[in-house]
Structure 1
Amino acid sequence: MAMGKEERDWHRGVMGSPAAQGSVRIPLCVTTCVSHLIRFLLLAVLLSTAPAQIPGFKLPDTKTAEVKEETAAERKKRLKSSLEEWSAQVEALDKEVSPPPGITPEEIAGRRSDLLLGIFMAENTLRSLDTAETLQQSLAQAKQGNAEWKGFEKPGPYSFTLHDELRRQQEGIDTRLRAYESAVTMFDRELAKRQDEIKKADEAVRRAQETVDRAAADQMDAAAWRLAAAKLKLRVLGSAAGMIQLTIDNTYLRSTTANAEAELLKRKVTALGTLTAFPEEDIAQLKKSTDARRKEINKELAEIERIQNTTIAARQTAMAKRDALKVSMPADADEKAKAALAEAEARLQIFDSQLESLANRIEITGARMRFLNEYLDAQLSRKTLLTAHSAVEGAEALGNLQAQLGRASAFDSLVNVRRSATLSAIQEQEQKLTALDAASPLRQPTGQLMAALRSDLDAVERFGQDISGLHQDIGRWLGDSEQVTRSMTWGERMQGLGSRVKGWGKKVRDFVVYPYDVRTEVDGRIEITKRGLTLGWLVTALFFFWIAYRASSWLVKRAFGRLVTKGRVQQGQADTLRRWTRIALGVVLALVTLHFLKIPLTAFAFLGGALAIGVGFGTQTLFKNFISGLIVLAERNVRVGDILEVDGVAGTVKVIDTRSSIVRSFDGVDMIVPNSVLLENKVINWTHGTSVVRRVVRVRVPHGSSLRMVSTILGECATEHGVILKSPEPQVLLEDFATDALVFAVFFWIDLRAKTGGSTVASDLRFMIERRLGEAGISLATPQQPSNPTPKA
């Protein structure tokens, strides 16, 4: 649908505004209601604040009378009258008529600014009113076209060109609708600001009127002048608010028209169906247009190369001039000679920048040439995808489209980078041009460089538009293929499933994970054969290894279970040995598997570097503990069931694993000890050679007690305890004649592997000794407390 000049100008302004670039979607019904509400509030404010000052808002004499809505013709007439009035006032101000005494030049400039703003708003409002009439006609035409369209003349399937054209129109309308919604949001904010300004202006009019009422005779002229200026500002703000509201209304008209067009396009796209035809004449026409564009691009490339050659020649001349100035310049050259040399250097830099810009343009133009082939190949792949009878061909075409979509994304990134770089270069040259004097000889070459940069930017933008269109088209084509797939019957889907799975499986199986060389010596010569470790070989090897490892693990578990049942080894030792045996079997089975499948170890040579670095630095502690575990198992200085004391904590060894061992303390807490600690640190093994250890219990009795009787009682108590070993026999020793008691020591031996620990035995023995000594009339000695010395006076 054609747009008038005013509409195109407005459309460019809206689409180029920051708000139009957003993607906020506002329902049309909501924004319409909000717009009418704002219009009502604005009308109420204007009518209640300054009805006599705003054209078109004249209140009737009675309060009950209704306000007559102003027609478009009346509004145009009023605006033209205001335009003439304000233009005349501007001419009067320009004639330098003396203002009343007390009026400052700033006030005069402010009034003149308000008049110019009012003229601008009135002119724009008149144009917007004309645009509104055109938009009403366009809306009527869109609705009429939507009502009259009854379908395509010929039955489908329809050509791919028609599909692409209608879908692109849909995407364009969606973009326009988003822009309109963003524009309405922006204009609503602007209208709210104008309403606030109108309130302030109305308050200013009120204050100016009060000043006039109270002004003295000599100040009356200035007060009246300020009152007129305040009323003028209020009228101008009212005109601005009306213009913004009219712009919002026109935007709604555009949005409504676009919705009507979108509805018609939706019906047409629905009528197209999911099937797409690829007539030979349309494909031939596509190839013909592609060839025509290729010729245009070749012509453009030739022109760029011509400019490049001319620039290269000019650069050589500039470089020769620069070199001549350098050679001829004396050591004590004056400022004029230095300035000439600096100018020559600057010219040379400008030529270098021009050549770089031309090289970038050649690269972008060459990419556009490659894009033509991409687009044609994409259309052919699309045809194969939608019309292929073989599932393998369809899958290949789908892969080609997905790959082309990825390349389009890469080109998008290139366009963004080039766009940013070119914009930065243009901004830099603009700053340099601003800094140059008007008579500087560098202004012309700098302007030429800016023109070259703008041409470079134009080439980048054109290429970006082409790539963006291809990106959208391929995405839409892939979506269409999914819709076709969803519309297929189960029989049609299963028909090609087997061949697709077979083709995919073959590709996966033959995928080379790592290529390697096999060296064979034949008759004294080294023959090198190229081979590759495929994913199928690798999966087969892993499956064979898993089966063999599971079977061997089951056999090892059964074997060690029988050893534990027969009492050959303890359960803890059996678990440790079984764990280490499984590790050794895993290594052996890995080597056997590789040999069985004829996969040489050199195929994994690519892991050597990673292992050398990663294992050497990241897992050095792990291998240190692993080797320490092997040494611990080989030396057998520490075994499962031994009682150890590590870092002051005693406990029983429960597990000796590949990296660490578990020691369970007598408090029931498991302590994880790295295997290297068992070799490098001081560790006490209470059960290394034997589990029999000696313990001692000390008893203090008062002086004067019968030593023999005490010794006899202590020995009998130790002998009567059921856990204390009879061999070696317990011993009772008189250790010390302390100042406050006689100290006896009972030494006895126990087996640490018994269920009762040494602390429990010592406790039982103390209970027995206390009871027997009490029966013999012998009390235990109490340590004497030191007496407090008498404080000095």
Structure 2
Amino acid sequence: MTRTVFQFLRIGLLVAGLAGSPAVAQLPSFKLSEDKPEALKEETTEDKRKRLKSWLDDWRGQVEALDKGGALPTGITPEESAVRRSDLLLGIFTAENSVRSLDTAEILKQSISQAKEDSAKWNGFDKPGPYSFVLHDELRRQQEGIATRMRAYESAVNMFDRELTKRQDEIKKTDEAVRVAQEAANRATPEHVGAELWRLESVKLKLRALSSAAAMLQHTADNTRMRFAAAEIEAELLKRKIAALGAATVFPQADLDHLKHSTDERRKDIAKELTNIEKSQQAVIAERQTALATAEALKAATPNPTDADKAKLTAAVERVQFLDNQLESLANRVEITGARLRFLSEYYDAQTFRKTLLTSQSAAERTEALVSLQTQLARASAFDSLVDVRRNAALSAMQEQESRLSALAADSPQRPQIEQLLGTLRADLDSVERFGQDISGLHLDIGRWLADSEQIDQSKTWGERLRGLGSRAARQAKAVWNFVVYRYDDKTEVDGQVVTVKRGLTLGWLIGALLFFWVAYRAGSWLLKRGYKRLVNKGRVQQGQADTLRRWTRIALGIVLALVTLNFLKIPLTAFAFLGGALAIGIGFGTQTLFKNFISGLIVLAERKVRVGDILEVDGVAGTVTAIDTRSSTVRSFDGVDMIVPNSVLLESKVINWTHDTPVVRRVVRVRVSYGSQLRMVSTILAECAGEHGIILKSPEPQVVLEDFAADSLIFAVFFWIDLRAKTGGATVASDLRFMIERRLGEAGISLASPQQSFQLHADKPLRVQMDGGESEEVKPS
């Protein structure tokens, strides 16, 4: 016996050896030898079994006495009696399990001896290799199963060790409670001594029950360790067998035929099971229709129902709900069983792909088989997720019905229905578990085969690896080219009926469409550039207008090419419906200003109120329009600065177009001369100066006007017309004209008036005059 068990038993001995009293005498006998406690280490298995059975008989007797309701000492409450009974049941349970663990330990020792013997006897297979795939798979499955069991054993041992630690802490606390109870019994008065002794006995009983529980955990942990040891020996033997198999695997036709035959037999069984489930489903559907009709008849026949009528109606409605739940469970079984039936051939197909992968001389065939296995592995993973979801759903439904069942009375009429539904749910869970086992087995097998193929690939020559790599690259490229980016519905009309066909927009289609569009757009842009260049060279349009028209024509070309490309590749516009909805609304709000300016640009081009080359004044800035684009127009000021003007401004704001109908505009230069000048001479000189300038137009001819009599001068205005298309601007012409007028007036002895200002000096107070370099003096007015 281990050291931990000895510690627990020693505590039990100390409990049994406490002060004897009539109450203590009722505890199970615990006979000890007079030797030291270490003598317990030599206790045989039979002695342990006898001791545990003695405890069991005593504890069962005490439970029976408590159940009969015997008199309790004065001061003992029913709650304390219930606690004592719970401790007795704990002791009985743990002692029974300990007895079974002792019996199991003998069997496990024999299994370890047998495993060692089998491992020592095995010296190899009877026949030389290579060996069939059946033997390879069988041994590898056994190896995986043993590895799983060993992990479970390790987890169980760790759990038992943690539980033993908890029991040790409880035993220490209870041991202290025994000491406290003993002191209380020793100090008790005669009228309370019975109750205190009863409590002391209960605490001692709890201590022994905890010791029994700890011993049970120790026995179970020891047995788990022996199971782990036996599994470890088996794992070592399987490792030797798998090493003896070698990497070579053959696929005898007899084994393949046997696999196909067994698959067909299983398919027949599952198909028969599916037929029975569907029959049950049809029967439940018919029963539900009858129950629903009954419920509807009860609702219609009793406008003023009595309590009995209400009870019948409630029962009818509950029956319909029960049948609905049963139908749902049967539908799940039909789906899972159908999936099992469809998935059954996957294993045979996987073995076929595996054979191609391992034995084919063609790199392309091996690559295709590898991709097929990877696809099956992905499908198995998806089905694993489905099985988990269905398993959880079935367990949840079972827990719900079990909770309802536990809340019902034993004679409730609903109990048979719920029990029947629980049976259906258990069958549903069983179908899910069986399907999960099939999927899990295939998942593990394919994963192992792929890992084996990788090891085989590592042993290949460089030439074989390069051929395989090229084949895989071509396969991957083809898969990427045929990757479906988006699926859509294509509606066509056949014989007056609209037929909807599922189509897929592949990545290859998109690349082809983009390439076709790019080539056509580039070619069209080149032709447009050449065409407008010829128009400019012939003088039919100006360069700025040609650039603007070319931009807009390219936009129209792009739209037309996009539609032609989609139609040519048979890609309907509905394929891009995913761009609509919320995305379209968001884009609409975000680009409303952009579309506003775009439409404004179209209107500007259509109305031709503003054209390239026009001179505009926008927001107080004047300049020449150099371009009208899709979103904005460019106005270059006379200072050479480009101003970007949104197209909507040209329609919504006040814009001055100096060259709208004609580029001829009127300018004015004002001249101030002094009073006393010869007015006619001044007018003649001004008219001659305007007529002599080469840029000022002769028609309409310049006009001289005496505009005003100012306070200090006579104001003449020279109005003249110029063509804004001339290279010299209006400001330059006005400057030249002023130079000419100043020279001619000077020659004629006429002076230009200078601004005059008058002011009055009020000297009602002395003024302070400051002289440079002198003292300040006061000056008094005379």
The bucket for the TM-score relative to the shorter chain is 0.5 to 0.7
Q: Distance in 1 between matches of 2:551 and 2:10?
A: 90
SS at match of 1:367: helix
Equivalent position of 1:39 in the other structure: 4
What is the aligned partner in structure 1 of residue 113 from structure 2? Answer: 140
Q: Deviations over 1:342-361 (max 9, x none)?
A: 32333344334434433332
The one of 254, 265, 274 equivalent to 1:292 is: 265
Task: Note the residue ranges of structure 1 that are not aligned, 5 or more in a row.
Answer: 1-34, 520-529, 557-572, 647-654, 664-671, 690-724, 740-773, 778-793
Distance, in Å, in 2 between the alignment partners of 1:467 and 1:80 is: 47
1:307/1:736 CA distance change after superposition, 3 Å = farther
1:358 to 2:358 alignment: no
> Which of 197, 201, 206 matches 1:224?
197
Cα distance between partner residues in 1 of 2:96 and 2:168: 21
Indicate the residue corresponding to 2:378 in structure 1: 406
Which of 369, 376, 388 in structure 1 is aligned with 2:348?
376
- Distance change in 2, residues 1:462/1:674 (3 Å): farther
Report the Cα offset of residue 340 of structure 1: 2.5
Alpha-carbon contact 1:312-1:355 (below 8 Å) kept: yes
Corresponding residue for residue 206 of structure 2: 233
Q: Is the 8 A contact 1:143 1:260 kept in 2?
A: yes
Residues 355 and 511 of structure 1: CA distance in aligned 2, closer, same or farther (over 3 Å): closer
Partner Cα separation in structure 2 for residue 403 and residue 593 of structure 1: 37
Distance in 1 between residues matched to 2:295 and 2:574, nearest whole Å: 56
Specify the alignment match of 2:425 in structure 1. Answer: 453
Residue 226 of structure 1, CA deviation: 2.6
Q: Of residues 115, 124, 143 in structure 2, which corresponds to 1:170?
A: 143
Aligned to 1:120: 93
2:436 to 451, 464, 467: 464
CA distance in structure 1 between the partners assigned to 2:450 and 2:145 by the alignment: 19
Deviation at 1:151, TM superposition (A): 3.1
Q: Is residue 294–residue 369 contact of structure 1 (8 Å, CA) maintained in 2?
A: yes
* Contact 2:91–2:209, Cα closer than 8 Å, also in 1: yes
SS at match of 2:247: coil
Q: Cα deviation per residue 1:47-72 (whole Å; 9 max; x = unaligned)?
A: 9985847999979888xx96762434
Matched, 1:276 2:249: yes
In structure 2, the CA distance between the partners of 1:676 and 1:217, relative to structure 1 (3 Å rule), is farther
Residue number among 166, 173, 188 corresponding to 1:200 in the alignment: 173
| 1:285 to partner: Cα distance | 0.9
Residue by residue over 1:583-618, the C-alpha shift from the partner in whole angstroms, topping out at 9 and shown as x without a partner, is: 9879969988999x9984875745765677745455
Q: 1:75 aligns with which of 45, 48, 51?
A: 48
**2: distance between equivalents of 1:590 and 1:378?**
50
Report if the CA contact (8 A) 1:158-1:276 is conserved: yes
Return closer, same or farther for 1:250/1:616 CA change in 2, 3 Å cut-off. same
Structure 2: how far apart are the matches of 1:256 and 1:737? 126
1:478 equivalenced with 2:443 (yes/no): no
What residue identity is the alignment partner of 1:39?
T
Cα shift readout 1:347-386 (whole Å, capped 9, x = no counterpart)? 3443344344333323322222112122222222222222
Within the candidate set 130, 133, 138, 1:157 is matched to 130
- Name the Cα RMSD after superposition: 6.0
Q: What SS is found at the alignment partner of 1:156?
A: coil
1:489 equivalent in alignment to 2:454: no
After superposition, the Cα gap between the structure-2 partners of 1:632 and 1:301, relative to the gap in structure 1 and judged at 3 Å, is closer
Seen in structure 2, the aligned counterparts of structure 1 residues 625 and 476 have a Cα distance that, compared at 3 Å, is farther
The question of 1:342 aligning with 2:307 is answered no
Deviation per residue, 1:302-343 (Å, 9 max, x gap): 43344345445544554565565556x353443223322332
CA deviation after TM superposition for structure 1 residue 503, in Å: 5.5
1:488 offset after TM fit, Å? Answer: 1.8
Quick one: distance in 2 between partners of 1:515 and 1:92? 79
SS in 2 for 1:492: helix
Q: What residue is the counterpart of 1:389 in the other structure? A: 361
Q: By how many angstroms is 1:435 displaced?
A: 5.4
Do the aligned partners of residues 314 and 99 (structure 1) sit closer, same or farther apart at CA in structure 2, a change above 3 Å counting? closer
Q: Look up the match of 2:394.
A: 422
Distance 2:552 2:111 in 1: 83
Task: Kindly indicate whether the alpha-carbon contact (under 8 Å) linking 1:511 and 1:534 is maintained by their aligned counterparts in 2.
Answer: yes
SS at match of 1:69: helix
SS in 2 for 1:150: coil
Output the CA distance in 2 between the equivalents of 1:345 and 1:593: 61
Match of 2:222 in 1: 249
Structure number with greater Rg is 2
In structure 2, the CA distance between the partners of 1:121 and 1:533, relative to structure 1 (3 Å rule), is: closer
How far apart, in 1, do the equivalents of 2:61 and 2:580 lie? Answer: 91
C-alpha distance 735-203 of structure 1, shift in aligned 2 (>3 A): farther
Contact 2:116-2:233 within 8 A present in 1 as well: yes
Q: Shift of the alpha carbon at 1:428?
A: 4.2
Deviations 1:678-710 (A, max 9, x none): 76998999xx99xxxxxxxxxxxxxxxxxxxxx
How far 1:283 moved relative to its partner? 0.9
**How many Å apart are 1:134 and its aligned residue?**
2.0
Quick one: which amino acid aligns to residue 120 of structure 1? F
8 Å CA contact 1:304, 1:358 repeated in 2: yes
Identity %: 55
**1:370-404, Cα deviation, whole Å (9 max, x unpaired):** 12122222222222222222223223323332333
Cα–Cα, structure 1 residues 422 and 140, in superposed 2: closer, same or farther, change >3 Å?
A: same
5 Å matches for 1:434-449? 434=406, 438-449=410-421
SS of 2:41's partner is: coil
Contact 2:164 2:218 in 1 (8 A): yes
Amino acid at match of 1:390: S
Moved more, 233-242 or 253-262: 253-262
The Cα of 1:533 is off from its aligned counterpart by: 8.8
Match 2:75 to one of 102, 117, 120:
102
Q: Over residues 84-135 of structure 1, what are the superposed CA-to-partner deviations in whole Å (9 max), with x where a residue is unaligned?
A: 4434444554565544443334333333332332222222112112222222
1:317-716 equivalences under 5 Å are: 317-319=290-292, 321-322=294-295, 325=298, 329-434=301-406, 438-502=410-474, 505=477, 539=511, 600=568, 603=571, 605-606=573-574, 609=577, 614=584, 616-624=588-596, 675=646
Q: How many residues end up aligned between the 2 structures?
A: 645
Structure 2: which amino acid aligns with 1:419? R
Whole-angstrom distance in 2 between the partners of 1:302 and 1:618: 59
- Taking a change above 3 Å as real, the CA distance of residues 227 and 340 of structure 1, as seen in their structure-2 partners, is closer
Q: Which amino acid aligns with 1:252?
A: R
Q: Report the CA distance shift for 1:110/1:630 in structure 2 as closer, same or farther (over 3 A).
A: same
**CA distance 1:605–1:305, shift in 2 (3 Å):** closer
What is the rounded CA distance, in whole Å, between the counterparts of 1:377 and 1:413 in structure 2? 22
Q: 1:97 to 1:419 in 2, by over 3 A?
A: closer
Deviates more, 1:350-359 or 1:503-512: 503-512
- 1:95–1:160: structure 2 CA closer, same or farther, 3 Å change rule? same
Residue type of the alignment partner of 1:290: T
Q: Using a 3 Å threshold, how does the CA distance of structure 1 residues 776 and 159 change in structure 2: closer, same or farther? A: farther
What is the TM-score normalised by the length of structure 1?
A: 0.64
CA distance in 1, matches of 2:172, 2:347: 59
